[in-house]
Amino acid sequence: MSMIAGATLLASTLLGAVPAQSASSADVAAGVSADVPAEFGTDWHDPVTAAPPVAVPGGKSCEVTVAETQFRDFTPYRGTYAPPRGCGDRWSKVVLRMDGRVKGRQYDRLGYLHVGGVEVFRTSTPQPSPDGIEWSVEKDITRYSDTLRGTQPVEMLIGNVVDDTYTGILDVKVTLTFHAGRPDAAGTPDRVLTLRNGTLTTPRNSERIVAEVYATGSGGGCEEYWYLTVPDAAPYSCKADDGPYREVQIEVDGQLAGIAAPFPTVWTGGWSNPFLWYVVPGPRALDIKPIQYDLTPFAGILNDGRPHRVEVSVVGVPEGRTGWSTPVNVLVWQDTHSKRVTGALTEARASGLADSSTYTPGSEHRLDTEGGHRLTVAGYLNTSHGRVRTTVSRTVANTSVHTWGDGENPDSLKAAWTDDETVTVDGRGPVRTTRTDRTYTMDGTTTLGAGDRLRTVLSLGDRAAVTETSGGRRTAWSRLDDTYRGDATYTANVPRDQRHAVGTTSERYRLYGSDGCYDRSLSTVQGVLTEDRSGC
């Protein structure tokens, strides 16, 4: 990433020297601004997000520790998971919780947790204060219940470097809490599969198939900041042949089966300014959500009992460049009243992929990018309850304006990504349709001013609208709006006790619809949590 050419990135991991004070719990609960220092100190509030906790039912629950370890290098933790005793083998909810702590200096680090080869969790870490931080992440992993019913190998890794400069050792514990009760048959798949040598073999009575891909661009190179890359003709430090357009595609036996816009995750060292993220991380940074592809139109092909090649690729990545990780899980629902479900793929129609970047030179360099793609796939299955037709239509698009001055100062990006999907199921009973419209936004500027004061002003948005209909009548709906805003400044290229960093950040997470509403707002100043309000 450029954002003032990355020369300040190392410096930006260092802290100021004035101790911060924390808001009292009473002040925070009342939404009253707490006393804040004039600048960041050697400690700050533990990381927190405005996202809702996982809703759990009442009644009996059982807890299992999956991993408890420290990460100092790139050696994975390996252990064994065993199902809980006393809560049966069917659960109404399974909640993963990771608790972490770290102190000293450290970069943001990317990590994963595999149980039985299934990736159940992907995360990144916040950056610590010298005095230390603690944080936690919760995730609903009920959909992996099939994997969790048997004893399984466990592998977890948060790759880390510890030396004389980067002293932060990552101390983590992961637990699973199982809530006894009847599972949601529609939401919990019968099988959870992984690819074997790049191939997938599904049960022959599969009637719904969903692939999920934990797609992340990371690793410290230009693909970590893919949305800022420019064509070779433009004078900028991160190059890509066709510019910043990226699209995550999945193929079945060489046939395009799904497209998606990747989420533009900003990790906790992002935009050359970790002071933006010390307390409030960007959306999804600590709980990385997978892209989901409904592959049910291909079930008639996949149900022949043979292995089929499934491949994921990222459009726009220059040949030979690394940085993307795309592990795949496959969720399968079976027709329990049939030994074999037959069918066929009846339509696979894609538009031409549009990807255009126009560079305009000048005292302010400018790159305008527009990209997009459309795909419709359809198929039918002969199930025990009749012929069922499934049609999946998806349209992705990206527009961005990237401007920068000489020396890449200032450096600005305003971008939006849309990913609209409609799944229609026509079989026994009324036609059922689920429409999901996703929008991701990024609007920010980094400037290196007088006295080497580096300032970043940035807003991020993660929005989604979901509507379900049956027979043309709306049966359920929801709206998500997760918005982050930050403004932080520090002195670059000086010793740590001369950074004199200041910054304000906020997040508002709103989720409302037919199931109710949730609304929480957080604000920080110089690492002190000054507002934590909830209510609809």
**Closest listed residue to residue 192, CA positions, set 330, 336, 334, 335:** 330
pLDDT digits (tens, 9 = 90+) for 381-399: 999 999 999 999 999 999 9
User: Is the pLDDT confidence value at 30 over 70?
Assistant: no
Name the band, by pLDDT with cuts 50, 70 and 90, for residue 323. Answer: confident
pLDDT in the model for residue 35: 87
Q: Does 177 score more than 60 pLDDT? A: yes
| pLDDT tens digits for range 463-478 | 999 999 999 999 999 9
Average pLDDT estimate for 184-202? 94
Tokens of 184: 């949601």
Exposure string for 197-222, b = 16+ CB within 10 A, e = fewer: eeebbbbbbbbbbbbbbbbbbbebeb
Structure tokens at 218: 């990371």
For the segment 318-347, the average pLDDT, to the nearest whole number, is 95
Burial of 53 (0-12, 13-18, 19+ CB in 10 A): exposed
3-state secondary structure at position 413: strand
CA dihedral for 33, 34, 35, 36, sign (positive or negative): negative
All residues at 6 or more sequence positions from 320 whose CB lies less than 8 Å from its CB, including other chains? none
Contact status, residue 201 vs residue 115, Cβ threshold 8 Å: no
Q: Is residue 369 within 8 Å of residue 394, measured between CB atoms? A: no
Quote the pLDDT of residue 33.
53
pLDDT over 80 (residue 496): no
Average pLDDT over residues 312-331: 94
The amino acid sitting at 305 is: G
Q: What are phi and psi of 316, to 5 degrees?
A: 100, -15
Domain ranges across the chain? 181-493
> What is the mean predicted confidence (pLDDT) over 517-521?
98
pLDDT level of residue 20 (50, 70, 90 thresholds): very low
pTM of the prediction? 0.93
Q: What is the pLDDT of residues 204-234, one digit of tens each?
A: 999 999 999 999 998 778 999 999 999 999 9
Q: How far apart (Å, rounded) are the C-alpha atoms in residues 50 and 524?
A: 12
Gap between the Cα atoms of 495 and 16, Å rounded: 9
Q: How far is CA 254 from CA 235, 308, 315, 378, in A?
A: 37, 10, 15, 16
Which of 317, 9, 286, 31 is closest to 172 using CA atoms?
286
Q: What is the DSSP string of 103-118?
A: -S-----EEEEEETTE
Torsion of CA 161, 163, 165, 171, to 10 degrees: 60
Q: Which of 21-25, 295-299, 383-387 has the lowest mean pLDDT?
A: 21-25
Tokens of 272: 């050359």
For 239, which DSSP code? B
